[in-house]
Structure 1
Amino acid sequence: MQFDVIIIGGSYAGMAAALQLARARCRIMMIDAGQRRNRFAEHSHGFLGRDGHAPDQIAEEAKQQLLAYPTVTWTNGKALGAAQAGGGFRIETEAGQTYESTHLILALGVEDILPDVPGLKERWGKSVFHCPYCHGYELDEGSIGVLAVGPISMHQALMLPDWGKTSFFINDTFTPDDEQLAQLSARGVTVVSEPVAEITGHADIRLASGRVISLAGLFTAPATRPTSPLAEQLGCALEEGPLGPFITTNAMKETTIPRIFACGDAARAAGSVSLAVGDGAMAGAATHRSLMFG
C-alpha cells in the first residue's frame, strides 16, 4: 500500500511528527514496536502541561487523538527492513507486511546500555535515573549519588548538587585529575573511590568493604544506541555523541538521505520527552514542506 509518509516509531517524537502531517491531510502509516524509552518510569516530569503524569497515560491519550484523523493508519510491530524503491521507500515488518511511501521519518528511539552493577537494572526509572531535570526535584534535596561510567560522568556530578548533597562514585572507571577534583570540591561533591559492590534497598550503595551509603536517588549516564539498524540500512549517516551514535540531521531534521527525516532521541546526542516532541513537530512540518516543494 502506498502512503505519503511512513513513520517508524510511535512514541512522543513519532506521534508529534504524525500530528503535523495528519493536520495537512497527508496519508500516514505509523509502525510502532511499542518500546518507549521511559516505560520504566512511573511519572513524566518537565513536560509542559503534563508534569507528573504517567507516561502510559500521556502516550495513550496522544495516540487516541492522532487516530481521530482519518488519514492515519497505525500498525503494531517491528520494522525489520528498509530500502529505497522506485523513487521512494519500502518498509517490511516482522509480520511480513510491506508498505511504500515517498517520504520516511525515523523516530526509532534509543536503547539504554546500563552499567553492569548488581541491583541497578531493577531500579532503573524508579530510583536510578539519567536526567536530573526529569527526576531531580522529586528527591526533595535528599542525598544523591552519581555512579560514574567514565569521564563523561563529571558532567552529572557537577550538575547534581543543585538538587541535593551529592556523592560521586567513580567505581574504578576513571581517575579525576587535579583540575576536576577542584571543580568537584567547589561544588561540594564528595568523591568516593571505593568500588561499588551492588545497589540495594531504595537506592543504597553497598561498597566493596560492606559499607552502605543510603541515597534518595542515584544517577548514571548509560551508553545509548538506536533501537534499530534501519538508518544504516538506508545509508543515513550517523555521528558519535558523548553517550553513543545518533542519526545525523540538519536543522529541519532531514538526514543525509533526501526525503528521510529523523527525530527524537535517536537523532540527537541526548534528549527528553519535551525535546522529542519538539523535534517531531519540526520533522513533521519539514516533511510536509518536502512533499509540497521537493
Structure 2
Amino acid sequence: MYDVIVVGGSFAGMSAAMQLARARQKVLVIDAGMPRNRFADEAHGFLGQDGRAPAAIIRDARAQLLRYPSAEVISGEAIAARADGDGFAIEVAGSSEHRARRLVLATGVADELPPIPGMSERWGETVLHCPYCHGYEMRDLPLGVIAAHPMSAHQAVLIPDWGPTTYFTQGEFEPEPAEIHAFAARGITIERTPVVELMGEAPALDGVRLADGRLVEVAAVFTAPRTRPATPLAAMLGCVHEDGPTGPYVKIDEWGATSVAGVWAAGDGATPMHNATLASAAGVLAGIGAHQASVRAAA
C-alpha cells in the first residue's frame, strides 16, 4: 500500500508528489498524459519556466520527482476510485488496482468550447482563454472576445492592454450599463451580430465571419469555455462540488482537503481560477496537507 496516490501528473499533481516524496512518503503518481495545457506550445507567466513548452516542464518535473526513491510514476488512465478499508483503491485502465491511505486528486478539467466552426483547431494558439497566459504574444494585434457567459464582459475589459478589442455579444451577453461605460473608456468596440465561423488557415486566424456575412479582422479571440471535471473520480468518492463561473469544481479547504476524509484536491479541478502557477502552488499545499494528516493520525 502507498502512503499517497496522486492522480494527475501535470503542474498540480507533480507539485503535490514532490512535497510528499521529500517527506519520505511512499507516493505513486498516476498520469493519463492528457493535461489541459497540451494544446499550447508555450507556458507563460510561470516563474522560471516562461516560454517553455508545458510538455517539457512536465517531463523535467517527472525526472526530478523520480530521483526520490519513495516516488513512482505510472502512465495510465485512472477510471475508478473507491474507499477501501483504511484507505482507497484506484483502478487504472488495463491494469490492476492500486491502494493508498490517502489520495490527492489533480485531475483537472475538460474544456467545452462554444460550438462555432474553426474554434477547436485553433484552441491554445489563436483561440485563448487567459490573457495573462497568452496575451503578450498577441500584443498590438486586433483582438476579439467571443462572449460565452455573463462574465465575458469582465474579460473583455482586460483585453485592450494587449491590443485593440472587439466584444462579440453573440446576441446573448449584452454588457450592463456600467460595463458599456467601461468599454467606452477602454476603446472597446461592441459587435452584436453573432460570430458564426473563424476564418483563415488554422491555427492562424485572419478574422471572423458574422451571421450577416460581414468579416471582422482579428488575429486572436479570447473566450471562456465551459469546464467540467476531466474525470469522475471526485464524484465517485462523494466529494462535494461547488458551482463556478464556468462550471463545477471540487470544494476544498485552505490545504486542499475535500469533504471526504483522506482525499485532497488541487489544480484547475479544485478552483474557479485557472492558472499554471496557481495550480502548482495548490499542489504544494495539498501535498503538505496530506503529509501532515498522516502525522496527526500517527500521534
The normalised TM-score by structure 1 is 0.97
Code of the residue aligned with 1:245 in structure 2: it is: P
> What is the 5 A alignment of 1:70-89?
70-89=69-88
Please, what is the CA RMSD of the aligned residues?
1.1
- In the TM superposition, what is the alpha-carbon distance from 1:195 to its structure 2 partner? 1.5
Q: Show the counterpart of 2:222.
A: 219
Shift of 1:74: 1.2
Structure 2 distance, partners of 1:3, 1:212, is 57
Which residue does the alignment assign to 2:39? 40
Q: C-alpha separation between the residues in 2 aligned to 1:150 and 1:19?
A: 37
Spell out, residue by residue over 1:210-244, the C-alpha distance to the aligned partner (whole angstroms, 9 max, x if none).
22222221100001111111111111100000010
Whole-Å separation in 2 of the counterparts to 1:56 and 1:279:
19
SS at match of 1:4: strand
Aligned counterpart in structure 2 of residue 285 of structure 1, from 282, 288, 291: 288
Residue 106 (structure 2) pairs with residue 107 (structure 1): yes
User: Take 1:175 and 1:155, find their aligned partners in 2: how far apart are those partners?
Assistant: 12
CA-CA distance at 1:124 after TM superposition: 0.4
**Separation in 2, partners of 1:198, 1:90:** 46
Letter of the 1:179 partner, please give it: A
Aligned-pair identity in percent equals 45
Deviations 1:114-139 (A, max 9, x none): 00000011100011100000000111
* Alignment-mate amino acid for residue 4 of structure 1: D
Gaps of 5+ in 2: none
Q: Which residue of 1 aligns with 2:150?
A: 151
CA deviations 1:63-109 (Å, max 9, x no partner) are 11111111111111111111111121111111141111111000011
Task: Work out the CA distance in 2 between the residues paired with 1:35 and 1:209.
Answer: 38
Structure 1 alignment gaps of length 5 or more = none
Mean alpha-carbon deviation: is it higher for 128-137 or for 206-215? 206-215
Query: Is structure 2 residue 237 aligned with structure 1 residue 238?
Result: no
Counterpart of 2:91?
Answer: 92
> 1:194 deviation in Å?
1.1
User: Which secondary structure does the structure 2 equivalent of 1:65 belong to?
Assistant: helix
- 1:179 is displaced (CA, Å) by 3.0
Cα distance in 1 for partners of 2:46, 2:177 equals: 38
Return the TM-score normalized by structure 2. 0.95
- The number of residues matched between the two structures is 293
